[in-house]
Structure 1
C-alpha cells in the first residue's frame, strides 16, 4: 500500500505539473463557494452589528457556520481535492466510487471545522451567561477585541502555525503518509487534514468572533489571507505581513475603536434598539 501511494504520488505530481488539476472538481468547488458567498451576502447584509454580534440559537448558527465554511475554506482546498482526485484516478477507481470518496473526504474535513465552530459557540454562550459587565464595548470590550487580534498575529509567527501551514500546502506528502482505502478511510483522511487546517487557521477564524461574526468585510479579508497562505507559490512568506497587519489592527481597535476601519460600533446598534 505504501509503495502504491508513493508511486501514485509521483504520477499525481507529474499530472499536476502538466496542469491536470482535475478541472471538473475545481469547477464544482468554485461553484459551491460562489453559491455559498451569495447565500451569505443576502441574509448577512444587515446582521453585522460589530463586536459582540449574537450567534443566534445553535441550529441557526450551525447552518450559517457551514455556509461560511463553504464560502471561506473550500477554495483554499483546491490543491488537496485535486491531488486526491488524481490519486483515485491513478488507482483505477470507478467514477462513482471516486465521487463518493471525494465527497467523503470533504465531509471529514468539514467535521473538523464544525467541531471548532461548536467549541467557539459554547465559549461564546458561556461568556454571555456570565454576563460580565466589564466586557461591554464601552468598557474593556475594545481591549479584549484588540487582544484577540494581537494574539492571532503572534500565532501567525509560531512554529505550530508554520508546521500546520506546511501540512496544508503538501497534499502529496499527506496522502503518502496517511492514505486509507474505503469511504470511511476517506472520511478519516479528511478529518485528519481538517485538524491540520484548523491548527493553521483557528486564530484567523477567531478574529471573526472578535470583530463581529457577521462582518462581511472581515470574512472576505480573512478568506483572502487563508487562500493566499495555502495556494500562492510563496504563500508561506505571507504569514509575517499578515501578522503585522493583524497586530496593527489589534492596537488600533484597542486604543481608537471609533476610527478603526472595517469595524462597526456595537454601541450604535444598541442605542437604536433601545430607542425602539
Structure 2
C-alpha cells in the first residue's frame, strides 16, 4: 500500500529510516540525561559555595525563608537530578510535544514538590526554634531528638509505604501513563506528581540530613548516594536494608558517642562560623 502525504504519493518507508529515527531518539535521550547531569554538577558547585563554613552540625540554623528555599531547591536539583534523569528521559520519549522544553518543565514540576517539602521542613524548624527554653539545643534534647530521628528514618526504610513509593520511583511508566496530561501545564503537573512520590520515598532520608547537618556537603553527598543506590540498584530490598542498617548505626552512635560519627560537626565542640540568622 502506498502512503499518501500532503496529497501526493509518498515512498514506502525504508528500514534505514526507522533505524535513523531510533538513533535520533537515543541521542535526544542521552543529550537530555547529559543536560540534567550537567545541571546537577552546577548545582553541587553553587550549593558548596553557599554552604561554605555554615555547617554547625545537627539542627543548623536554617536562615531566612527565602535564602533557605533558594539553597534547598538548588540542593535538591544537585541530589536528585542524577537519579530522576531516567524518568525525565522516559517522559521525553512518551510525550507527543517534541519541544525540548517539555522535559525541563517536567523537571521543574519535580522540584516544585521538593520546594513544598522544604517549606514544610522550614516551618517545623522555625516553630521548634521558638519553643521556650531552647529544648532542641544540643546540650538539652537536641542530641536525643537527632538520634531518634535517624532511628525513625531507619524504621521507615522497611515500611510498606516506603516500598510503594520506591516502586513508583524505580518504575515510573505506570505512574506516567495513569496520570498523563498534555501540554506545558500537564508536564508541570506530571513532574510534580512524580516529585510527590519521591518525597514519600525519601522524606525520612532528608530528615536524617537535618539531624546530621543540613549545611554539610559531605552528609548531603552521602544522602544523595543512598537515594541513587535505592533507585537504581537491581537488588532493591538489599539496598533498603543496607540503608536502614546505616541509619540505625548512625542513630545509635549519636545517642551513645556522637564523637565517633565520622565527619559529624558536634555543636559547641569547636570554632565555626555562625549560621544565618533566622
State the TM-score, normalizing by the size of structure 1: 0.86
CA RMSD of aligned residues (A): 2.1
SS in 2 for 1:267: coil
Q: Distance in 2 between matches of 1:241 and 1:272?
A: 34
Q: Distance in 2 between matches of 1:21 and 1:101?
A: 13
Q: Distance in 2 between matches of 1:252 and 1:72?
A: 25
Distance 1:153 1:164, change over 3 A: same
Distance 1:102 1:231, change over 3 A: same
Aligned length: 252
1:22-171 equivalences under 5 Å are 22-88=29-95, 91=96, 93-94=97-98, 98-171=99-172
State the match for 1:7 in structure 2.
none
State the match for 1:233 in structure 2.
234
Q: Distance in 2 between matches of 1:154 and 1:252?
A: 16
In the alignment, is the contact (CA less than 8 A) between 1:65 and 1:114 conserved in 2? Answer: yes
SS in 1 for 2:86: helix
Where does the alignment leave 5 or more consecutive residues of structure 1 unmatched? 1-14
Q: Distance in 1 between matches of 2:273 and 2:185?
A: 51
In the alignment, is the contact (CA less than 8 A) between 2:129 and 2:136 conserved in 1? Answer: no
In the alignment, is the contact (CA less than 8 A) between 1:149 and 1:250 conserved in 2? Answer: yes
Q: Distance in 1 between matches of 2:132 and 2:213?
A: 18
More helix by share: 1
- Which has the higher mean CA deviation after the structures are superposed, 183-192 or 111-120? 183-192
Distance 1:208 1:131, change over 3 A: farther
Q: Distance in 2 between matches of 1:21 and 1:201?
A: 29
In the alignment, is the contact (CA less than 8 A) between 1:72 and 1:219 conserved in 2? Answer: yes
- Residue by residue over 1:230-270, the C-alpha shift from the partner in whole angstroms, topping out at 9 and shown as x without a partner, is 12222443000100110011010011112222311111357
- Residue by residue over 1:71-128, the C-alpha shift from the partner in whole angstroms, topping out at 9 and shown as x without a partner, is 101111011011011112xx3x34xxx2232122111111111000000000000000
Structure ID, larger Rg: 2
Following superposition, the deviation at residue 21 of structure 1 comes to: 7.6
State the match for 1:199 in structure 2.
200
Distance 1:30 1:183, change over 3 A: same
State the TM-score, normalizing by the size of structure 2: 0.85
Q: 4+ runs of 1 displaced by more than 4 Å?
A: 18-21, 269-273
Where does the alignment leave 5 or more consecutive residues of structure 2 unmatched? 1-21
1:203-214 equivalences under 5 Å are 203-214=204-215
Q: Distance in 2 between matches of 1:37 and 1:31?
A: 10
In the alignment, is the contact (CA less than 8 A) between 2:33 and 2:86 conserved in 1? Answer: no
